[in-house]
Structure 1
């Protein structure tokens, strides 16, 4: 029909780990060009977390870099993840086309769709140095932690509360593409501006009783829930300052307060434990703040009050507030 066109391929991340198929190339983008006009066709794939994914647009060395205004393409520089959209058929200029039933929701997702793939190559190298825990206890913990994370995500999604993988759970994703078997809990972060008073009852209704509540909404709030299999869910609330972000910590016996400082970060999607979940886009800086430059070496003995390089004293809770800011169940 007179179009010039280019096809852009990339690795299929769904086949990662399958030795015979790993590295298989799949079509990610096509650009069709006629005169001064271009059609950008983006290929979406279904991923195991029941969401849609598209790959980044990467130009190979021998490709014409002037073929299209690549920098202006909305689906270009980064891979993206979207909820599965319900489609509806409409007619535009006599053409029958499909669009998302809720276009505004799709456009809203576009602005925050950036996707980070798990670092499979680095994870394999990590396990060559530090063999994975495949004991029955390690496998069982990962199974329980995965179920707890899915339940937490379902509960928070129903409330419309955004969260991301934090602390040891984020470290496990970035370092070894899996849950750390000796971590014994699941860690997530929530911005305090997204806090809702019905978070606690929603978790309790989901079968996760409150284990402890430290701090208050205005200062150092932290919640911990107990899963049905004694795996703990720690919810850290983050506060934003002009040039950094932080979450708080409380020592029960002394009333001492602690503050964990993080460089400012944004959110990306990833796939973890067979679900679409958020992580800090600036993951390395986030983990180095929390664990130092040696984050890639396993540490099984960890003191939350002194081991993190980003921890600092933050005063004391007044004794007359202890009943409110130090609650253990």
Structure 2
């Protein structure tokens, strides 16, 4: 009898232990799933949706700890959004889910307001404590580069947080003097791990970029509290044309060494008037929703010497003819710029000139003809018309006179082409042979017999 009791007790103990062990395994697996850790994965790392949510939770923990002013700029995630999705806070859902962040890509991108965050070296240690690998990419601060000093301290440009081959990419945005946001390119230094991420697939970093400051809202996506641009569709449109070209300070300094800057009172006064006119023109056209870019001599001044050319006596802008509006003239006149000349017509070689405060504003309208684009020109005195033809070009953002403006991305070739073409037309119109002479760093335009 005693033997039977001992066997029964032993059996009950084994059964109870087994049940307790199974219960512990179930609870641990449930906890692991909720926190994105799958210990039953033979490779001991997360995969799929759980992996990405786990990484994002770790990253957002760092955001909270260091009070990082970040917001979502991931193009794939923002593309999935709708206004209903933004208004619907899904934090009530209890089951693991990943609708917006779990895209076909293994990275998610956030932007960080660099001007609102004080760099903290403890971020590296805190990342390691959370099992995250951190790569920091730095570069020169272009805001500190001037004609007198081409050196500048380095600032953080990009952070990459990695966990099991998945990455959170943080793009650092800095405010520039033109009251816009700028990020630098992602360039790996010597000795940096080029296998850390699929750098060629990242949304941001191939080029520098420029953006208007977006209004942000707090929402909940996939159970996570995230800040996003309120007008996320507008931000995506801005992203598609955000490439930024930095002023060529080194080349400008070399130019001024050969041809010292005109610092006369007259030249300084003209630059200030031209700056005021450029800012006013930008305000008028932006209010109309008409995109424009620097053209002709104004574009050359930005490209060659990072400044307005003091002897140009005008400000030149380009606009696609498809963006022409009937109320452009009225808007400029209302802003205090009377119409001085109107050449051509909308169907062919339209050109508008407005008179500012001793500085003329010339607006050239560009026509698209397949592989080429062109703008018309009319000589005021004779009425003769010319056609300036250029290869097709794209537009990039730049800064001139503390203003965020667009310039042709292929500025070098277009500046040279436009100046040569204008020279040829001017000389032929005078009945003279063109005589272009190139000096180091500058084109000297002349006609035979005029010197």
Match of residue 308 from structure 2: 179
CA distance in 2, matches of 1:20, 1:126: 15
Superposition RMSD on alpha carbons, in Å? 1.9
Q: Is the 8 A contact 1:247 1:260 kept in 2?
A: yes
- Cα 1:140–1:261 shift into 2, 3 Å: same
Verify: 1:221 aligned to 2:350, yes or no: yes
Q: Is the 8 A contact 1:187 1:233 kept in 2?
A: yes
Q: Is the 8 A contact 2:150 2:250 kept in 1?
A: no
Partner of 2:193, secondary structure, is coil
Deviation, 1:18, is 7.9
User: For structure 2, which runs of at least 5 residues remain unmatched after alignment?
Assistant: 1-129, 421-436
CA distance in 2, matches of 1:302, 1:134: 28
Match of residue 275 from structure 1: 403
Deviations along 1:244-278, one digit per CA (max 9) or x if unpaired, are: 11110123444422111111100000011101000
Q: Is the 8 A contact 1:89 1:96 kept in 2?
A: yes
How do residues 1-329 of structure 1 correspond to structure 2 at under 5 angstroms? 1-17=130-146, 22-227=151-356, 229-292=357-420, 294=438, 296-297=441-442, 299=444
- Cα 1:46–1:213 shift into 2, 3 Å: same
Over alpha carbons, which structure has the higher Rg?
2
CA distance in 1, matches of 2:208, 2:148: 23
Q: Is the 8 A contact 1:166 1:189 kept in 2?
A: yes
Give 4+ residue runs of structure 1 displaced > 6 Å after superposition: 300-303
Q: Is the 8 A contact 1:166 1:188 kept in 2?
A: yes
- Cα 1:21–1:218 shift into 2, 3 Å: closer
Q: TM-score, normalized by length of structure 1? A: 0.88
CA distance in 2, matches of 1:160, 1:287: 26
Partner of 2:329, secondary structure, is helix
Partner of 1:154, secondary structure, is helix
CA distance in 2, matches of 1:302, 1:5: 61
CA distance in 2, matches of 1:244, 1:294: 26
- Cα 1:278–1:230 shift into 2, 3 Å: same
Partner of 2:358, secondary structure, is coil
> More deviation in 37-46 or 284-293?
284-293
Q: TM-score, normalized by length of structure 2? A: 0.65
Q: Is the 8 A contact 1:247 1:261 kept in 2?
A: yes
CA distance in 1, matches of 2:149, 2:316: 35
Deviation, 1:23, is 2.0
> More deviation in 204-213 or 86-95?
86-95
Aligned residues: 303
Q: Is the 8 A contact 1:214 1:223 kept in 2?
A: yes
CA distance in 2, matches of 1:92, 1:252: 60
- Cα 1:302–1:104 shift into 2, 3 Å: farther
Deviations along 1:86-111, one digit per CA (max 9) or x if unpaired, are: 11111223322211111111111000
Partner of 1:63, secondary structure, is coil
- Cα 1:182–1:99 shift into 2, 3 Å: same
Deviation, 1:302, is 8.5
Partner of 2:365, secondary structure, is strand
Partner of 2:308, secondary structure, is coil
Q: Is the 8 A contact 1:182 1:300 kept in 2?
A: no
CA distance in 2, matches of 1:158, 1:300: 37
